[in-house]
Amino acid sequence: DGGITQSPKYLFRKEGQNVTLSCEQNLNHDAMYWYRQDPGQGLRLIYYSQIVNDFQKGDIAEGYSVSREKKESFPLTVTSAQKNPTAFYLCASKREGGLAGNQPQHFGDGTRLSIL
């Protein structure tokens, strides 16, 4: 079955440490996204990528970095510069082409990141 896999499900970060969240999809989708969700709030866009080897900053990119070396993979690194990383992180993908705006996003199950 096609889908999006995020790992790990839970992650703990020590002060000054960089951590990387994995996101893999086998839906053959071109576009991939990273969102952050804080308790009681909606999703805020961190980074997105429309195509391999290209990505764009979202609304809250500071303290985060991404890469898109393969179509299937879009890992997110939470750097030590992100001072408040505790949140639920969601990865999504979407089919492009045609009327791209009318395609829904498909989400992974999320990674919950906490500070030790």
Q: Give residues in contact with another protein (CB under 8 A).
A: 31, 33, 35, 40-45, 48, 50, 56, 58, 88, 90, 99-110, 112
Closest to another protein by CB, 80 or 105: 105
- Minimum CB separation of residue 97 from another protein in Å reads 10
Residue corresponding to tokens 């609304």:
59
3-state secondary structure 74-90: CCEEECCCCCCCCEEEE
DSSP symbol at 73? B
73 strand-pairing partners: 24, 70
Closest to another protein by CB, 69 or 109: 109
- Minimum CB separation of residue 37 from another protein in Å reads 9
Closest to another protein by CB, 19 or 35: 35
Q: Cα(37)–Cα(35) distance, rounded to whole angstroms?
A: 7
